[in-house]
């Protein structure tokens, strides 16, 4: 999985900014990239924010549909996470809580 491995605070701030980009336009919050604690692997302890090509090209709304990269806030949000070049690849099982029932 491709995305950012950042602090929980950075991940929350990024998701909050994406939510604000929607509410500031009078819209409900209908899409977020998400934030997942990383339990295992090299980035254990950090928080994963998905940012793969499908995320970047997600059709959101409009005709033709706008994608996240079409919004002016996109560059600033990505920069707050270190920029696209800072993205990492983790394994799906890394975000699964090993102690979950």
- Where does this chain bind other proteins (CB under 8 A)? 1, 27-34, 36, 48, 50, 52, 54-55, 58-63, 65, 92, 95-97, 100-101
Q: Which is nearer to other proteins, 56 or 82 (CB)?
A: 56
Is residue 83 packed enough to be buried (19+ CB in 10 Å), middle (13-18) or exposed (0-12)?
exposed
Q: Is 68 helix (H, G, I), strand (E, B) or coil?
A: helix
Sheet holding 47-50, edge to edge: 36-37, 47-50, 2-6, 88-89
| Minimum distance from residue 36 beta carbon to other proteins (Å) | 6
The position carrying tokens 């059709």 is 59
The CB-of-26 to other proteins minimum distance in angstroms stands at: 11
C-beta of 24 vs 63, nearer to other proteins: 63
Shortest Cβ 66–other proteins spacing (Å): 8
């Amino acid at each position: 999985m491709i995305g950012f491995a950042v602090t929980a605070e950075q991940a929350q701030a990024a998701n909050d900014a994406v939510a604000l980009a929607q509410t500031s336009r009078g819209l409900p919050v209908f899409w977020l990239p998400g934030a997942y604690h990383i339990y295992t692997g090299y980035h254990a302890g950090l928080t994963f924010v998905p940012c793969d090509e499908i995320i970047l090209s997600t059709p959101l709304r409009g005709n033709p549909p706008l994608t996240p990269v079409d919004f002016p806030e996109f560059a600033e949000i990505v920069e707050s996470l270190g920029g696209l070049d800072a993205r990492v690849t983790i394994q799906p099982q890394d975000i699964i809580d090993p102690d979950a029932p």
